A and B are shown apart, each in its own frame.
Chain A
């Protein structure tokens, strides 16, 4: 019996071609984006979204065209941080227009698409949903990248949820590892979790553009950022106090 590759007529389904078309769509869409930076951490609750939103605003105030893709599909917070109005997204054959937040930062987020307070829920068989849910979320991420009319951007920030799964999906969708900005708090617990994430990012080939130490002072003590900077030979680009000023964020923006 002949095998797959011995059958020379094209496969009508062309599943591989469909996947490659999806990737081209993302590449074409991001052709006008000068740099893409994933803001990530192996630890939850360290303020990734907070840092992402304020960094974006500082970059925008400095004259850049900036967008944020809120890749935390299950716990999206960027629109609230950007005070993004909940207007309907205008759609056309050219894509979906992003929302515009404070300082003109463009934004797409599941928070803008879901009913108030509703979780992200998909159609499909409820049993064993873990089998397909991850793929569905990756498709949503791909569509946020490829179907939103980002236009020309100097910087597109990707606000990732805790953990590494979304980062790995991004590497696949983008076809290359994105630059990474890591966020930690000073504690040794955070350092250990962030270290794992940074190591994975380095192994995937990402350029770590820097480390942000958030929530510096008061209750949180430790040397997480310095430890990670020494271990990975990357700079600490900002230490964010509990009550940062616009100058704090401008300094971070200037350091990237």
Chain B
């Protein structure tokens, strides 16, 4: 998927991705010559089609987690289907090494179904670690969610 600024005859560069939470997706592309920005908007059906392939518009910047599609998309999963190991239990307690989770972030994580919660924690933790972030807050989670294309997390 590429976008062409016809006036400049230049390939546009991917800008950012937004997930409004209603199943739709927005991705922006900018012309490096004239600065013109266009947005790709997909409806819930189109967004779902992309998600069902296990791919992300804008590209993936963190490795896929084991059973990521199953865990993020299945709504009837058992709460005790997965054991994430001791590392993530540390995350659940609110800290792991130099990384801490704000109370608000922990509350938000608490609303994520247990079937996927451990994996979501790990994705956010990896995101923070890669960027030198020491405290995960809801704002950081929002940014990560959009940057990583984590629809539904």
What is the interface of chain B, defined by CB distance below 8 A to chain A? 1-2, 4, 6, 9, 11, 13-14, 23, 44-45, 48-49, 51-60, 64, 66-70, 72-78, 80-85, 115, 118-119, 152
B67, A147: Cβ atoms under 8 Å? Answer: yes
B6, B53, B70, B72, most chain A CB atoms within 10 A: B70
Minimum distance in angstroms from B33 CB to a CB of chain A: 13
**Among the listed A15, A113, A127, A140, which residue makes an inter-chain contact with B78, where contact means beta carbons less than 8 Å apart?**
A113
Complex-state Cα separation, A8 to B4, whole angstroms: 11
Complex-state Cα separation, A61 to B26, whole angstroms: 55
A143, B70: Cβ atoms under 8 Å? Answer: yes
Given A88-B80, A115-B76, A142-B54: A125 touches B70 (CB 8 Å cut-off): no
**Among the listed A2, A9, A91, A125, which residue makes an inter-chain contact with B85, where contact means beta carbons less than 8 Å apart?**
A91
B75, A125: Cβ atoms under 8 Å? Answer: no
What is the interface of chain A, defined by CB distance below 8 A to chain B? 1-2, 4, 7-9, 11-15, 18-19, 21-22, 25, 88-93, 95-96, 112-116, 118-125, 127-128, 131-133, 135-136, 139-140, 142-144, 147-148
14 contacts between A and B (CB under 8 A): A2-B4, A13-B57, A15-B55, A18-B59, A18-B60, A91-B119, A92-B85, A114-B76, A121-B75, A123-B73, A124-B48, A132-B52, A133-B52, A139-B69
Minimum distance in angstroms from B139 CB to a CB of chain A: 24
A115, B52: Cβ atoms under 8 Å? Answer: no
Residue of A nearest to B66 (CB): A147
Residue of A nearest to B13 (CB): A12
A123, B59: Cβ atoms under 8 Å? Answer: no
Complex-state Cα separation, A133 to B74, whole angstroms: 11
Shortest 4 CB-CB contacts between residues of A and residues of B: A135-B52, A12-B14, A88-B83, A118-B76
Given A2-B4, A131-B49, A135-B49: A96 touches B57 (CB 8 Å cut-off): no
B4, A7: Cβ atoms under 8 Å? Answer: yes
17 more A-B contacts (CB under 8 A) besides A91-B82, A115-B78, A135-B52?
A9-B2, A9-B13, A12-B59, A13-B56, A18-B59, A90-B83, A91-B119, A112-B81, A113-B81, A114-B78, A120-B76, A121-B75, A121-B76, A123-B75, A131-B45, A140-B74, A143-B69
Residue of B nearest to A97 (CB): B83
Residue of A nearest to B9 (CB): A2
Complex-state Cα separation, A1 to B81, whole angstroms: 52
A122, B83: Cβ atoms under 8 Å? Answer: no
B23, B45, B76, most chain A CB atoms within 10 A: B76
